Amino acid sequence: MYDGETLIAEAGPATLEMLVPAPVSREEAAASKGYLGFQRHLFPGGFGCGPERVEGDGLRIFAGRVRGRDLVAAPWTPDGSLASADGQVRPEFVWAALDDSGAWSLQSGLEDWQPMVLGRLAAVFLDRVRAGERCVVIGWPMGHEKRKAYSGTALFGEDGSLCAYARATWVRIRI
């Protein structure tokens, strides 16, 4: 993708092997009530996790810390507007669902909040998700070096099965 003659994004095949943590229940995912983005957000109108989005507009995935685990989680029920004619959530929205929770897993609290943007995202899709399905999204930290931070995310279906997972590279920015 170009902006004029400037390359701003590119896509290609990738190999991704990683361990995915065990899923959390929808009750545990209700930890999203502690979503840091409700108090501070670099892109409050963002499509995936922007708290300024209203029901039916955007994904509204608000991942909060899960007690006793080094991860964040959020319940997510994809809106019908995200589906193709067969009722399955379109791939671009699954990609979007795998995005932001990883960044929030890297934030330990408001006192040391660090703004960051996505640098790279590689994903594996295992199963399709239906609009209206009661899913859970999780994100967990995978390390850092200098300004880069790494996270994993996963999307689980209503039955707890792993539908997709991803690894992201985030770049801390100065604002």
CA dihedral 83, 89, 90, 93 (to 10 degrees): 110
CA distance 82 to 16: 26
Q: Which residue has the tokens 């108090």?
A: 39
Cα dist from 150 to 57, 59, 104, 136, whole Å: 28, 22, 11, 20
Confidence at residue 1, expressed as pLDDT on a 0 to 100 scale: 83
> What is the distance between the terminal CA atoms of the chain, rounded to a whole angstrom?
25
Domain ranges in the chain are 23-172
CA distance 166 to 164: 7
Confidence at residue 110, expressed as pLDDT on a 0 to 100 scale: 67
Q: What percent of the chain has pLDDT over 90?
A: 78
For β-strands 72-76 and 135-145, DSSP reports them as antiparallel
Q: Please name the residue ranges forming H helices in 32-154.
A: 91-97, 100-105
pLDDT tens-place string over residues 38-91: 999 989 999 999 999 998 899 999 999 999 999 999 999 999 999 999 999 999
Of the pLDDT bands very low, low, confident and very high (cuts 50, 70, 90), residue 32 is confident
pLDDT tens-place string over residues 139-162: 999 999 999 999 999 999 999 999
Q: Other C-beta atoms within 10 Å of 141: how many?
A: 19
Confidence at residue 98, expressed as pLDDT on a 0 to 100 scale: 96
pTM: 0.91
Q: Which residue has the tokens 């996505």?
A: 118
Residue 128, token pair as written in the block? 């399709």
| Dihedral sign for Cα atoms in the order 89, 140, 150, 114 | positive
pLDDT tens-place string over residues 97-139: 999 999 999 987 667 788 899 999 999 999 999 999 999 999 9
Strand runs (DSSP E) across 68-147, as ranges?
A: 72-76, 116-125, 135-145
Q: Do 163 and 170 touch, CB atoms closer than 8 A?
A: no
Report domain 23-172's class.
alpha beta
